[in-house]
Amino acid sequence: MKKIAKMLFLFAAAGILYMFINPSDANSPKSSSKNLLTENQSKSMDAYWKAKAASEARDYQKALDHLDNALELDPENSAALMRSTMVHSLIGDYETAIIHIEKAQTVLRKQGKYESANNLEIEKLALQKMLQDNDPSSTVLK
């Protein structure tokens, strides 16, 4: 029951994250030629959308494969970083989820999206707590 409650919290957090980082805005082309996507960024977003569909179908390995491809093409694809955070947390890989949420924060700050980056701190703390709760070697009292 405790694990189900944590997962429900995580899904709620993912919904909150979506409000702060809308993938259609995070890496979409704008009217200015300065902001047009490079070929790699475009391919990265294509891989992101495939990952999104796979994760919604609960095919997490396929989603991770697409996300790895997306991030190889564009390591600053904040949408792919956040989707990777979510998928890794769903499969219980909290360490990788934390790494990806920290990368997303760095990218967002670089893009001048400081409020969005700071808002991810709550989700990062939740992931750290989940990692701690699932670590049998943890010496912290629960």
Average pLDDT, the chain: 81
Q: Model confidence over 31-68: pLDDT tens digits?
A: 344 468 899 999 999 999 999 999 999 999 999 999 99
Average pLDDT over residues 13-19: 49
With 50 as the cut, is the pLDDT of residue 27 above it?
no
With 70 as the cut, is the pLDDT of residue 91 above it?
yes
Average pLDDT over residues 99-126: 94
pLDDT of residue 112: 94
Return d(Cα 11, Cα 133) in angstroms, integer: 18
User: For the chain, how far is it from start to end, CA to CA, in angstroms?
Assistant: 17
Is the Cα torsion angle 132, 18, 96, 93 positive or negative in sign?
A: positive
Return d(Cα 61, Cα 24) in angstroms, integer: 23
In one letter, which amino acid is 114? Answer: Y
| Structural domains for the chain | 39-132 (1.25.40.10)
- The answer, as to whether pTM is greater than 0.95, is no
